[in-house]
């Protein structure tokens, strides 16, 4: 039998802080609501940022049998029966949307940031000029 172990735990203060301008607060919502499954609270902070969609790309392809009968055929039919009665699949793509966003535009409309969002220049190139 393993000996009993004792641990001393400390209560550690955690938090998040961020300076937020009045302009940024105009488009922000904050909500706390009861989260029954976890016997606690869910906190949400929502806001809008200026930005644009940079690109969309398919990163993975998935396929699965279209219904229970197709899954049964895939698992239990011998190969010669699957050739005669092919398994029907549904196909889905995992797509990633990439956005360029600039939180500074909600605070100070700076020309460099607009040029970066438009794709005209890299932000570092814009700052060098």
Containing domain of residue 41, as a range? 22-128
In a domain, 10, yes or no: no
pLDDT tens track for 53-85: 888 999 999 999 999 999 999 999 999 999 999
The H-assigned helical ranges of the chain are: 22-26, 68-76, 79-84, 111-118, 123-128
- Tell me the backbone φ, ψ of residue 85, rounded to 5 degrees: -125, 80
In a domain, 5, yes or no: no
Question: Could you tell me if 99 and 52 are in contact, meaning their C-beta atoms sit under 8 angstroms apart?
Answer: yes
pLDDT tens track for 85-122: 999 999 999 999 888 877 666 555 556 666 666 776 66
In a domain, 16, yes or no: no
In a domain, 76, yes or no: yes
In a domain, 51, yes or no: yes
3-state secondary structure of 64: strand
Domain count, the chain: 1
**What is the DSSP secondary structure assignment for residue 48, as one 8-state letter?**
-
**Could you give the CA distance from residue 81 to residue 66 in angstroms, rounded to a whole number?**
18
- Whether the pLDDT of residue 19 is over 80: the answer is no
In a domain, 13, yes or no: no
């Amino acid at each position: 039998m393993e000996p009993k172990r004792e641990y001393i735990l400390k209560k550690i203060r955690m938090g998040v802080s961020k300076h937020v301008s009045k302009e940024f607060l105009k488009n922000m919502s904050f909500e706390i609501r009861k989260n029954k499954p976890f016997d606690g609270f869910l906190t949400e902070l929502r806001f809008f940022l200026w930005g644009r969609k940079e690109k969309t790309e398919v990163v993975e392809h998935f396929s699965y049998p279209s219904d229970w009968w197709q899954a049964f055929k895939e698992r239990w039919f011998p190969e010669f029966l699957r050739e005669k009665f092919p398994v029907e699949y549904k196909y889905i793509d995992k797509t990633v949307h990439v956005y360029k966003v600039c939180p500074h535009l909600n605070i100070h409309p700076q020309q460099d940031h607009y040029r970066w969002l438009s794709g005209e220049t890299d932000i570092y190139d814009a700052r060098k000029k």
